[in-house]
Amino acid sequence: MTEPVPPKRIFPSSKVDARAAEHVPSIPQTESPAYKLAFQDADFLLREDLRPVRFQLELLKPELLLNEAKISSTFVFYGSARIPAPEMADALVAAATNPEQEAAAQRLKAKSRYYDVARELARLASQTEPDDEGNRQFVVCSGGGPSIMEAANRGAADEGRDSIGLNIVLAHEQLPNSYVTPDLSFQFHYFALRKMHFLLRARAVAVFPGGYGTFDELFELLTLVQTGKVRPLPILLFGEDFWKSVVNFQGLADEGVISPHDLDLIHWCEDANAAWEFVCRFYARGEDEERETSVADGS
């Protein structure tokens, strides 16, 4: 005789209760906001003292969906939202209305080649096959916006592969670029939670020329690796001339505020193929484990 299979749960699901709550008769008590189910009460969830709950929700939602998508590791792309695609560079220069704008536009035009570099590197990373359990590796992840971010998602699309976009609510509207996989397109309110999701699955990070946002992301990553809070991973900096003109990395070491070996956290790159080869060599020789041991030993 076949044993009866017990039901999975004895309580109704939240979806069932939410539907039931829609049909409650209208009386003064049920019309009050106090009567709303807590998880359906937007005004309640947006209260100042509910911020810790919103932190948790913003951490949890992408985490659950990325787990369900079997995304095990990511290749993260940081970079300016202002560097034009090569085909748009001349139009940017033509739109300048004064000599200062034109000079800046010319500099951005010179950096437009990094759009193609980011696209090609993302394409190479996206060729990585899932493991035997179907877990996906080196899935391209960007901030979801234009320019370098668009190039990264576009490179994954060139290979017919999914990619992630971590967008954020800004004062000026920023929509996800059209190459982000819709089911992997996330929107954040908190920069801190967004940055955490950039790194939770990261196994390599490519950093292209950028402004305040790119600096913020890069230096937080360097600090986390330097202090042993994040396992060492390839940090690929594209545009050595740009970076060394705006940041005196060697000067930081010379002044004694960082150690000379902290400069080794950075790998300078210009070419997508060379960058991808470096990432492959890094993991082929288990360098992440070796460096993690060195950090733990204080060596």
Residue bearing tokens 């196994």: 203
DSSP state, 298?
T
* Short-list 244, 255, 203, 199, CA closest to 223: 199
Residue 38: inside a domain: no
Report how far residue 157's alpha carbon sits from residue 123's, in angstroms, rounded to the nearest whole number: 8
Q: What are the pLDDT tens digits along the chain (299 aa)?
A: 667 776 677 777 888 878 877 788 899 988 898 988 888 899 999 999 999 999 999 999 999 999 999 999 999 999 999 999 999 999 999 999 999 999 999 999 999 999 999 999 999 999 999 999 999 999 999 999 999 999 999 999 999 999 999 999 988 767 899 999 999 999 999 999 999 999 999 999 999 999 999 999 999 999 999 999 999 999 999 999 999 999 999 999 999 999 999 999 999 999 999 999 999 999 998 755 545 444 444 44
Amino acid at 220: E
In this prediction, residue 296 carries a pLDDT of 41
What is the domain-level CATH number for residue 211? 3.40.50.450
Residue 13: inside a domain: no
In this prediction, residue 19 carries a pLDDT of 82
Residue 209: inside a domain: yes
Residue 181: inside a domain: yes
* Short-list 225, 246, 245, CA closest to 288: 225
Residue 16: inside a domain: no
H/E segment holding residue 54:
helix 51-68
Residue 43: inside a domain: no
Residue 96: inside a domain: yes
Give the total number of structural domains in the chain.
1
Q: Which domain holds residue 201?
A: 55-297
Residue 106: inside a domain: yes
